[in-house]
Chains A and B, each alone.
Chain A
């Protein structure tokens, strides 16, 4: 696929109280942003584990966003403080291993920052588009099927079936 038409696949792990509600606000204010990011809601950014990120890359994500409440805003008082320190290490590790820093991005988005949410998604999408698909990781996927075989086959069939019915 040439770079212009290629659409990056982005996963966003978001905290339920701030960023998810911020995304709702972006929706109610009818702000427009690219459709590449799909969100996984967790209760607090403190509960996002680096293994989620690795699994997301393994499943073909080109970019990952982790977003939570601003420091001191956390519904649980300190969840995001622990997250902040954990991500500093994980980010250094990925960079040292050779994964560009833009592949994994972080943000604080409060429930009232709908605009910021839309901007962050747009920025991440643009960054990943310039970086191009995460071929290094995708090369590793091609030789072996997905871990949930039944999902992989079915996904292919539904996409094929979709094409026929349209």
Chain B
């Protein structure tokens, strides 16, 4: 084996404390080294050409580069080696900059350490084996979990890129929280008007298979080769036959039996219902817990009125399995509520505001429904308790957010904006009404956001009071809001008719369980972890799974849509090639030596190790051995250390290579 050693000065970052010529000279006489040279900028074009030329002229089989951290230029030098005909994995980097020249002042000690580091790399490269990238087939289909605006956008972008999409939404209709909003900041355009066309586009898109009232129950496999099991809950209505005429809804006798969760419990709905008029798909759902037929077997009014015979009481949940190449998670958020929590819950309720016992102390989404034209009050601002038009409304920012004692230390980002919007909507509809907003700091960082808040203050005369509200209690129909005005430096008391709390954005109820089903990490609140906060915000650390919208952290609509398109783009990149190239750093079991104790299978964090039967000539299984699935193995090497007889080798870090590095000390 002929080895080339190339020592870089890195300008003078290395050569200031490491005598590069001397390192090169010492390595030249080292056994196995054919050629050794030092140069000012090894990673520059002339430097790389020097490497390429040396490989060709000296017939080198492997190279060692003494330079900066492999995390910086390992790929550069590997590409240079490949272009000169050497396998990229016969290139070793000795980190002479971050781990040597920059951190030691004494030239002699630094140079001596540099020599030893290069020697370790030489010994390792001698035992490196040529490796090639692993190719794994890619299924050309994307699974989008969550049908809010983020899920809709991701599904549309991926489908428009020509790939099949399976969009799974747990509610009867897509639209998510955006469909509940009245108008959206900062342009005050009506939420339904900008959302419904997108929803219809999803419904009619030939490439999108829409599964509403469904949940993902299992995800198996790995990047490019996922297998998703989806439970389609029984709607008790045959989707092909139903024309969406809505007769069954109007005729259903159980008018006031259940709260409509879409209306945030401000209105009721019958047993058979669609969540809101513009629901997509426009197919109702029968709620077993309320429907008389399931209670006492009688009624069946809907069957009578339905001329297409679409009602099907014995419809059962069905399971669908789909092969998936990439997954985009867009499950969105939920609002924190102030009710009294169990002792062990990670959140605390708001006893100061009455733990939710006052009907006219509502949250942001409830106010959206009150302000929305299709809402319970047809757009008129009326308070839930007695339907009166409130003369004085107090809005409170940061209810739960930015508050360690309630268990939520982060800022929920969008409340400053939607509270200003709420105040504006109120003032537009009730001109002589008074709107007070208790705030700590207004965070209006988006485009046209600050101007929007200024407009609320200057044109709509919304009174901003800087201070926290300490207590709310009801006194003969009025809600006494006790707080402080920290700028005026005195306590404040307002007798409000309605109080709207801008409660924190927290992840969906079962986000942690879903994360475990998919196999992606999540933080202590239940938001899903991105691969890198700055550089890889829409990718999860699990390869092939992308994140969009508020399931990753509090997001407003523009950001959710941007993230959704980014995630769609990442998915299409993954799906654009027929096979997937993966780093060859994976483990391999020597099946002759494996004793079948399967400790490796227990420790493998990715479940990449399977039991493989070894048969003798006449097909009888005489032993079971561990087999590592090259596609799933991420190359962590935990199995190699757990294997007692050391019969598992990790490519790139095999026993001989590590041994050689230790021996060269």
Contact = CB atoms under 8 A, between A and B. Distances in A.
Contacts of B278: none
Interface string B326-357: 00000000000000000000000000000000
B581 interface: no
Interface string A57-82: 00111000000000000111111001
B104 A59 contact: no
A11 B665 CA distance: 8
B545 to A, nearest CB: 13
B63 interface: no
Contact of A158 (B26, B635, B662): B26
Contacts of B640: 47, 49
Given A38-B113, A47-B650, A27 B98 contact: yes
A132 B70 CA distance: 33
Nearest to A51: B646
A146 B653 contact: no
Given A38-B120, A43-B636, A161-B29, A61 B665 contact: yes
Interface string A1-41: 00000010101000000001101101110111111001111
Given A35-B100, A43-B653, A55-B659, A79 B605 contact: yes
B99 A46 contact: no
A46 B103 contact: no
A9 B662 CA distance: 12
Contacts of B246: none
Interface in B546-602: 585
B658 A52 contact: yes
Interface in A134-166: 146-148, 150-151, 154, 158, 161-162, 165-166
Contacts, number: 141
Contacts of A101: none
B599 to A, nearest CB: 10
A120 interface: no
Q: Of residues B637, B661, B664, which shows the largest number of chain A Cβ atoms within 10 Å of its Cβ?
A: B637
B481 to A, nearest CB: 41
Contact of B605 (A41, A78, A166): A78
A48 B26 contact: no
Contacts of A51: 646
A20 B624 CA distance: 38
A27 B71 CA distance: 13
A131 interface: no
A59 B103 contact: no
B69 interface: yes
A140 to B, nearest CB: 16
A118 interface: yes
A28 to B, nearest CB: 6
A75 B636 contact: yes
A123 interface: no
Size class of the B contact interface (CB-based, 8 Å): 35 or more
B105 interface: yes
Contacts of A43: 585, 635-637, 650, 652-653
B110 interface: yes
A32 to B, nearest CB: 6
Interface string B276-313: 00000000000000000000000000000000000000
A46 B71 contact: no
Contacts of A83: 638, 641
A99 interface: no
A44 B521 CA distance: 18
Contact of B638 (A76, A148, A151, A158): A76
Contact of A154 (B30, B69, B116, B634): B30
Contact of A46 (B69, B637, B664, B665): B637
A33 B26 CA distance: 25
Given A23-B98, A35-B109, A82-B642, A76 B605 contact: yes
A86 interface: yes
B663 A148 contact: yes
B103 A30 contact: yes
Contacts of B100: 35
Interface string B622-665: 00000000000011111011100010001011000011011111
Contacts of A24: 69, 71, 95, 98-99
Contacts of A46: 603, 636-638, 641
Closest 6 A-B residue pairs measured CB to CB?
Answer: A27-B98, A47-B637, A46-B638, A76-B636, A44-B636, A49-B641
Interface of A: 7, 9, 11, 20-21, 23-24, 26-28, 30-35, 38-44, 46-49, 51-52, 55-56, 59-61, 74-79, 82-83, 86, 118, 146-148, 150-151, 154, 158, 161-162, 165-166
13 contacts: A24-B98, A28-B102, A43-B585, A43-B653, A44-B637, A46-B603, A47-B640, A49-B646, A77-B521, A86-B641, A118-B103, A158-B29, A165-B25
